[in-house]
Every structure is written in C-alpha cells, then in structure tokens.
Amino acid sequence: MAVSPFAAASRRGHRRATSKTLTIHSLPLGRVFSGDHQLIIPDYQRPYLWSTDQSLHLIDSLEYAIAAEDLCFLGWMMLVQKSSSELEIMDGQQRLTTLTILWAVLRDLSSGKEADDWNDLIVRSRHELSGHESWPRIAIHRPNRQFFAEYVQEPGNILDLITLPDHAVETESQRAIRDNAAVLYDQIEDWSCARRKELFTLLNQPAYLAVRVAADRVSAYRIFAAMDVRGLEFAPAVSFSADWQPIRKWLQRLARLPYRDWRSVAVWAIENHSDAPVFIDELFRRLERLCAWLLLLGNNPGLRATRFGRLRKELREGAGLDAPSFGLNDEEKRLGRGRLDGELYRMPDIARYVLLRLEELLGGDPEPRRPDAISIEFVLPPNPLPDNGWVRDFTPEQRHSWVYRLGNLLLLDRRPRHGVDRVDFAGMKSEYATAGAGFALTTQAFGYREWTPDLVEARHQALIDLLVTEWKLR
C-alpha cells in the first residue's frame, strides 16, 4: 500500500516536531503531488487569483534550477490533517494550483508515456488490484472546482481553456486559471522533449517545498497567530508569507553562486528551525556573507569544504548564530576588500554575483532575469579608437588601471552590438539605453554627463563601500 510522502518523510527523520500537533518536512516537489493523499482547498480560503507575472516568476525559478542544476526553494505550505487520505491546504494553495496548471500544460504538450507521467502529478490513478479509486491530486476552491476539473485536470483540454472568451468564464478565479494557463503554454510550448524531461527529473531532486502539517485547524491557526508579531488583525496568508519572504530572497541570492556547498547549511536551517523565520533570516544573512567572502577568494573547493564542514558541526552542536565559522577576522576582511578593489571583469562568476548584489543594494530587482542571461559590460572600452573622446579623457595608464574594475562596470540584459566600444560616452548611452533599462546600476552610470577618471574612481569607491557595509568587511 502506498504511503503519504509526509508520513514517509517523518519516518526517515526529515522533520522537526514543534508540538504534538505539528510536523515539518522539506520535500521534493514531485513527492507533494504523489501518494494516497488528496490536497483540498477549503471554502474559507481565498479564491485563486495569482497573476500571470507570478506564474512567470515560478516557471523562471524552475528554469533557473534546471540550468544551474541547483537547489530551488519554492516556498512553503501549511496543511491540516483531516484524515489519513485528506489534507486541507491552509496556505500555499495559489502556488500549488499554479503548479497543477503547469503540469496540465506539460501533459497536453506531451504524448504517450510522458503524458501519463505528467498526468500522474494531476490525478491519482485507479489501482485495479488494491481497489483504490482515481481522484484529483488537488481539489480547489469549491465554486471553481468543476471548471478546474474539466479544463485542467481532464487531459486534452488546455487549448480549449486558453482560447475561452471572456463571456465564458464566470469568476475572477476562472479568468486567472485561463490567463495563467495561456502564459505558461506560451512559455513552454517550444520546449523539447529533453527539456521537459529535465524538469520532471528536477521534481524529485533539488526543487522542494517546506511543508507544515498540523493535526487540526485550531493548531494551524495557533501557529499563524504566534507568528503574527505585528499585533494586527489576524490574516493567515499575509502574516505567514510576510515572515518567509526575506528567506526566499536569501535563497534566491545564494542560488546565484557558482558553487553548491552552502545548500547543506540552508536545508539544515529549514528542517530544524522552520518554526523560527526570524532566526533563519539572520542565519541566512550570515551564511550569504560567508559565501560571498569565499566567492571573492576565488575557486578554492578545499577552503570551502573545510569552512562549511566546521560550520555544519558547530550548528549541529547548538552554536546557532554565534557559530565561529560565520565570523571573519581582520585579515580575512582585508582580503575580501582587496578582491573587490581588483579587476572583477576578469573573474566573471565573481563579477556577476557582486554586480547583482549591488543592483539590489541600489534599489533594483534582478530576480525576473536569470543570471546567465545578464551581460556584464564596461563603460570605458579597453581598446578605443585613437580619434574618439576616450583617448582624450583617459591616459593609457588610467585606462589600464580602470577598465576592468568595479567602477567601470554595468549590467545589460543582452550583449551589445559589435563595434559599440568604438563610440564615445554619449553614443554608448544611446546604444545601451534599451539593453540597460531596468537595471539601477546601469541607470545610475548613465545619469552622468561625462565619464572621467575622477568619476570612475569615486563611483568605484562608493560601490565598494556599499558591499563592505553589507558584508561587514571592515
């Protein structure tokens, strides 16, 4: 007999009991949509209203996880155990509903055994020998349940769904289901079979959810109430999601790193302290600082293995936020500052991470863009034509000193056209206007009327100071 993945996770020890009525697991995404349980969205929940931007952000996260072959934290959900086979979704239903729509789109774009595999994530198959009946993995908000069953959970109807006219959808939720199905279909219609297989494989590996299971609804509400530190009127989804949003941001930052050693510490924190988001937020802040410093020192797997090994041991022994391995001594801080002052452009992995962190610190938001789709460019070119303004404004020594350093770098969302390095600063601003739109770092650079050695030096020092303050390197 098949077993609920939540119960199975508990027996393997991947949980932390905070009371007799609560268990916590971190599960691969595929295992949430498997087993003999059904996920039910109760009528007291808000209806499904995710925007298309939110759906695109979700598929972006999954695509990045495929490309990076790295951990992809997709958030958390709160479940209430109604029976051995039924779990109420108290929070997380918007994400789970969107994922079901995604599975349905992938199913209808596939055929044969591949389509059957995707459908198994949507509908539990009937078992002849055991007598188990077929049922949908998720039963959404009752007023829209039949609509969802007909157009999403029933195979072959996605194209009918995305072409429904406005007069054929009766509620805002049905409109959101249609619109999100359409945008997901457009996003993955051209995926190859191999690409779809990569995503399916990902579901049982590093893409996971933090899952809380309460024995009853009262216990679940108590958990929410305990976390509503603002003293405002209780609103479950808002309260809990707000506490976890900073943690999601830390995971998004860490996922940009070109190495994976940090993952074991992150998973340990979520599995052992998922009832303490403020603690995890601060722990991830210290973890990201350590990871950034290790990145600045270059590709040194031995150093990382030693440092993270000590850190894991200290955390298991209860050191918490005071774990010595989180700390940096004066010499380590000096080394970090020195690397920031160097020719970062020649170290692409370091430059990409540093510039994206600066983008955040300057008020931008790099998350909608995948890091591997971002181009790092310089303003002052390394080999300007002898008759343009760069040669007049910079001596060869100044150009050699600044061209590859932080003060001369910016971000674009595409590679510039060939020959752009032959124009002056005004021409470069015109050429980069579209490619740099939306990047605070680039907008800041092109806000200057001219690009001079003194300006580059001042910008360079200001950007370093931002990072030194953020990472406490002084």
CB burial of residue 104 (10 Å; 0-12, 13-18, 19+): buried
Q: Say how far apart CA 211 and CA 47 lie, in whole Å.
A: 21
Q: Say how far apart CA 210 and CA 18 lie, in whole Å.
A: 14
The gap from C-alpha 54 to its chain's centroid, in whole angstroms, comes to: 12
Those residues whose C-beta lies under 8 Å from the C-beta of residue 353, and which sit 6 or more positions away, are 256, 257, 258, 292, 295
Whether the CB-CB separation of 321 and 282 falls below 8 Å is answered with yes
Stated length of the chain? 474
Q: Say how far apart CA 80 and CA 460 lie, in whole Å.
A: 53
pLDDT along the chain (474 residues), means of 10: 49 41 60 82 83 86 70 67 80 89 96 94 71 80 92 97 94 95 95 91 64 60 41 33 72 84 82 82 97 93 90 94 97 97 94 94 68 79 85 93 96 69 80 71 90 97 98 96
Tell me, what's the pLDDT at 366? 59
CB burial of residue 165 (10 Å; 0-12, 13-18, 19+): exposed
Q: Please report how the helices 348-361 and 453-470 are oriented relative to each other, as an axis angle in degrees rounded to 10.
A: 80
Cα radius of gyration (the chain): 25
Whose tokens are 């929070």? That residue is 91
Tell me, what's the pLDDT at 131? 52
Would you state the structure tokens that stand for residue 229, as one six-digit string? Answer: 């530190």
Other C-beta atoms closer than 10 Å to the C-beta of 67 total 13
Helix (H) or strand (E) holding 411: strand 409-412
Q: Say how far apart CA 164 and CA 455 lie, in whole Å.
A: 56
Distances (CA, A) of 145 to 23, 91, 150, 160, 225: 29, 18, 9, 17, 29
b/e burial code for range 138-151 (CB count within 10 A of at least 16 → b): bbbbeebbebbeeb
Tell me, what's the pLDDT at 342? 97
Tell me, what's the pLDDT at 201? 84
DSSP state of 405: S
Tell me, what's the pLDDT at 421? 64
Q: Please report how the helices 277-296 and 348-361 are oriented relative to each other, as an axis angle in degrees rounded to 10.
A: 140
Would you state the structure tokens that stand for residue 292, as one six-digit string? Answer: 């950034």
Whose tokens are 């930052």? That residue is 253
Would you state the structure tokens that stand for residue 299, as one six-digit string? Answer: 């590709």
